[in-house]
Amino acid sequence: MTTEQTPPAGPTEIDAARLLLTRLGLTAHDLLDTAADRSPAPWYRILEHRAQRRIDEPTASEIRHLLEHTKTHVVSRRNACGGRGAAEHLLAALRCRYRHAEDDGPITPAANPARKVAKPRRLPSTRRAVPDDRLAEINHIAATTGP
């Protein structure tokens, strides 16, 4: 993986940045003081449980608790597996969200709590091959009865 070096900003880029900051009503100082004023994560399930918290506040144990809560409050269907799929999807979404936060800079990889939570184990598949005698019966019927 290679990283491209961006050339330093010239006078045109600096003037454009100043113009943009002026139109937004910001100063360079406003950009430096943003660490304390982060907004909460914009994902409805997290907001449902942790609306007033910043993205860098939840811990791995709190994420595990949220996974368990999701597993126990899932809508049960005929083919349900006890909420394992819902927990797996929630963790995948959290990992994606935190990976974006790492890429954008609000948190570091070491501060990512979703990395510290193990994915829920999947149950063994209930799908099995058709037994040989049953397959021979199907083939016999298909061969003798036509389309």
**98 in a structural domain:** yes
What confidence tens digit (pLDDT) does each residue in 7-45 have? 788 888 888 888 888 888 888 787 776 555 444 343 666
Into how many domains does the chain fold?
1
Closest CA to 74 of 63, 62, 90: 90
Q: Residue 65 sits in which domain range?
A: 42-121
What confidence tens digit (pLDDT) does each residue in 69-121 have? 888 888 778 777 788 888 888 899 889 989 998 998 888 888 999 999 998 88
- Whole-model pTM? 0.54
**3 in a structural domain:** no
Listed in sequence order, the residues at least 6 apart from 60 whose beta carbon sits closer than 8 Å to its beta carbon are 113, 114, 116, 117
- In the prediction, which pLDDT does 117 show? 93
Q: Is the dihedral of CA 68, 72, 75, 79 positive or negative?
A: positive
Q: What is the DSSP letter of 74?
A: S
**94 in a structural domain:** yes
Position 53 pLDDT exceeds 70: yes
- The answer to whether 73 touches 89, Cβ cutoff 8 Å, is no
**58 in a structural domain:** yes
**48 in a structural domain:** yes
DSSP track, 95-145: HHHHHHHHHHSSS-GGG-GGGGSPPPPPPPP---PPPHHHHHHHHHHHHHH
**27 in a structural domain:** no
Give me 33's structure tokens: 């003081």
**139 in a structural domain:** no
Q: What is the DSSP letter of 46?
A: H
**10 in a structural domain:** no
3-state helix, strand, coil in the chain (%, to 5): 55, 0, 45
